């Protein structure tokens, strides 16, 4: 929990009673919880410093085993029962040993994924699905993905490649081999980016996704993609609004895509179960080292997901 607003040092582990699930709810013993950039923004002042929100429980996604169910506990895949291995998203307070969530937030855990992978699948997965849906990416088209080696980027690359699209992804050179293995054409960001994209996709790019929020990502996308309705950002909200591209997620004026993201959950688990989608784990920390996990995420240079293991 965050006991006050500030840096990751304000995080600590607290004992909190976990209630029995009520109607339509389930209790889950958490075995892994995903860490996401917006988690530290909850207490660093980005969204305000209302003292009434303290102490603040963090986290939005988790994987674990159902330990109790309330009446009529039915999720998107059907009734939820004690002993089920599941993924929970949207799961407020997921940084915990146990959580109680609506059964509607629970989907079956793919056996093909480890607990750490399952705990880190949903936020990046549904965000990537939302982005690709928003830009209308189709088979045999080309897409430019800025920040292709980040958590959302790696998901977007895999989903786009699986759909039959050609993917050009920006990343630092040390991450290019990883992107090649996933089927993308990697290029370095920085001066001359537009020319490198043209060389990588000589027939042009049909759509673009900014997952990093830099002016370069927005400017190059606008330069290369004629139809601005086929460019989206999940991070560059001010610059994106000026450029007239789509704003997605939780930023000011952005489309949260709630229905699209919720509908993507079962498609993601089915793809993971079939081996078409992998969750790359960049690091795993025990729950009491959440501050260290947040510091790693805050560097902005993490490839893959960071997870907490209670």
Q: Which domains, from first to last, does the chain contain?
A: 8-121+280-309 (3.90.180.10), 124-247 (3.40.50.720)
pLDDT in tens, 137-180: 999 999 999 999 999 999 999 999 999 999 999 999 999 999 99
pLDDT in tens, 202-261: 999 999 999 999 999 999 999 999 999 999 999 999 999 999 999 999 988 999 999 999
Q: What is the pLDDT of residue 238?
A: 95
pLDDT grade for 301, boundaries at 50, 70 and 90: confident
Residue 275 has pLDDT above 90, yes or no: yes
What share of the chain has pLDDT > 90, as a percent? Answer: 97
Q: Are 167 and 207 in contact (CB under 8 A)?
A: no
Residue 111 has pLDDT above 90, yes or no: yes
């Amino acid at each position: 929990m965050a006991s006050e607003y500030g840096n990751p040092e304000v995080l600590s582990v607290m004992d909190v009673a976990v209630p029995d699930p009520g109607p339509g709810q389930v209790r889950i013993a958490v075995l892994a919880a995903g860490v996401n950039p917006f988690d530290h923004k909850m207490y660093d002042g980005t969204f305000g410093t209302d003292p009434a929100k303290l102490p603040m429980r963090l986290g939005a996604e988790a994987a674990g085993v159902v330990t109790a169910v309330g009446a009529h506990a039915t999720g998107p895949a059907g009734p939820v029962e004690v002993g089920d291995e599941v993924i929970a998203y949207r799961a407020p307070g997921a940084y915990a040993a146990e959580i109680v969530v609506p059964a509607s937030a629970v989907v079956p855990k793919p056996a093909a994924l480890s607990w750490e992978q399952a705990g880190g699948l949903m936020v990046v997965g549904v965000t990537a699905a939302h982005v690709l849906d928003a830009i209308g990416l189709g088979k045999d088209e080309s897409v430019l993905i800025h920040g292709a080696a980040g958590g959302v980027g790696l998901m977007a690359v895999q989903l786009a490649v699986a759909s039959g699209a050609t993917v050009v992804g920006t990343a630092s050179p040390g991450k290019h081999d990883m992107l090649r293995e996933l089927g993308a054409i990697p290029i370095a960001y920085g001066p001359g980016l537009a020319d490198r994209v043209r060389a990588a996709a000589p027939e042009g790019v049909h759509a673009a996704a900014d997952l990093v929020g830099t002016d370069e990502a927005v400017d190059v996308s606008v330069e290369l993609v004629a139809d601005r309705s086929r460019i989206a950002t999940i991070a560059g909200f001010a610059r994106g609004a000026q450029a007239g591209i789509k704003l997605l997620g939780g930023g000011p004026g952005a489309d949260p895509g709630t229905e699209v993201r919720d509908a993507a959950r079962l498609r993601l688990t089915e793809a993971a179960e079939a081996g078409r989608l992998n969750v790359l784990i960049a690091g795993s920390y025990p729950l009491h080292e959440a501050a260290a996990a947040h510091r790693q995420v805050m560097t902005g240079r993490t490839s893959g997901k960071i997870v907490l293991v209670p």
